[in-house]
Amino acid sequence: MRIVVADCSVDYAGRLSAHLPRAKRVLMLKSDGSVLVHSDGGSYKPLNWMSPPCALTTLELEDEQHDAGIVEAWQVVHAKTGDKLIVSLFEIMSDSSHELGVDPGLIKDGVEAHLQELLADQIELVGDGHQLVRREYMTAIGPVDILARDAAGASVAIEIKRRGGIDGVEQLTRYLELMNRDPALAPVQGVFAAQEIKPQARTLAEDRGIRCLVLDYDAMRGMEDHNTLF
């Protein structure tokens, strides 16, 4: 990993064209050839970058570049797409390299799969007397998150999202359309469950007779812990 702090301008030509006017920035050159151009603010996204696999070469300076005050120029080319990033350096404030080694990587938990697990275990949240049939119930066009039966024994197809948007409603609608053609399942009631349901999605869902269910992740997790403890 090489880190350069420099007054520079950057040009990108690939799926789009982009230009960064001259300013002081941090240039991160990773050992896989990738380059990140960061400013002192914004989010984790660099102003500009080149993803691996790619290769960096130092360009020969032409007279007019030299006259313009450029002291060094890099060309970073993507190995597959040919996308090109050109960094023109006017002044280098700092240039250092560090051997980091391979990173052991991130360990994370607490995502959408967990919501499905929790709701399967607490299926009564969908309605009194509901019973789980199975998770990831396969259909011809993909798996429905949860298939259940209500107190009367009627089928209930549940689509779970962390944030419920229109896409999720469309997805559930396609499943319902298909499942309602199966005499063994029909009629199938739809339930759209999410931690947060967007107004447009709720409107669309209710217009189609799909029930909306807002999930309280913390409460469900707390319930789970409680169940585990006793």
Partner DNA sequence: TACTTAATCTCGCTC
Partner DNA sequence: GAGCGAGGTTAAGTA
Q: Which of 60, 63, 80, 101 binds its own copies (CB under 8 A)?
A: 101
* Angle value at C-alpha 79, between 78 and 84, nearest 5 degrees: 25
| H or E element in which residue 115 lies | helix 112-121
Could you tell which of DNA, its own copies, none binds residue 151, using a CB distance below 5 to 8 A set by kind? Answer: none
Q: Distance (Å, rounded) from C-alpha 71 to C-alpha 91?
A: 7
Kindly report whether the peptide bond that precedes residue 183 is cis, defined as omega within 30 degrees of 0. no
β-strands 155-164, 142-149: how paired? antiparallel
Which three-class secondary structure state does DSSP give residue 189?
Answer: strand
Could you tell which of DNA, its own copies, none binds residue 199, using a CB distance below 5 to 8 A set by kind? Answer: DNA
| H or E element in which residue 127 lies | none
Label residue 153 left, alpha or beta by phi (over 0 means left) and psi (-120 to 50 means alpha).
Answer: left
Q: Does 38 bind DNA (CB under 7 A)?
A: no
Q: What's the min distance (Å) between Cβ of 181 and DNA?
A: 18
Q: Does 43 bind DNA (CB under 7 A)?
A: yes
Q: Does 139 bind DNA (CB under 7 A)?
A: no
Residues that bind DNA (CB under 7 A): 12, 14-16, 18, 42-45, 48-51, 78, 83, 85, 105-106, 108, 111-112, 138, 142-143, 161-162, 165-168, 171, 198-200
Residues that bind its own copies (CB under 8 A): 1, 3, 5, 15-21, 23-26, 28, 30-32, 34, 36, 38-49, 51-52, 93-94, 96, 98-111, 141, 166-167, 170, 200
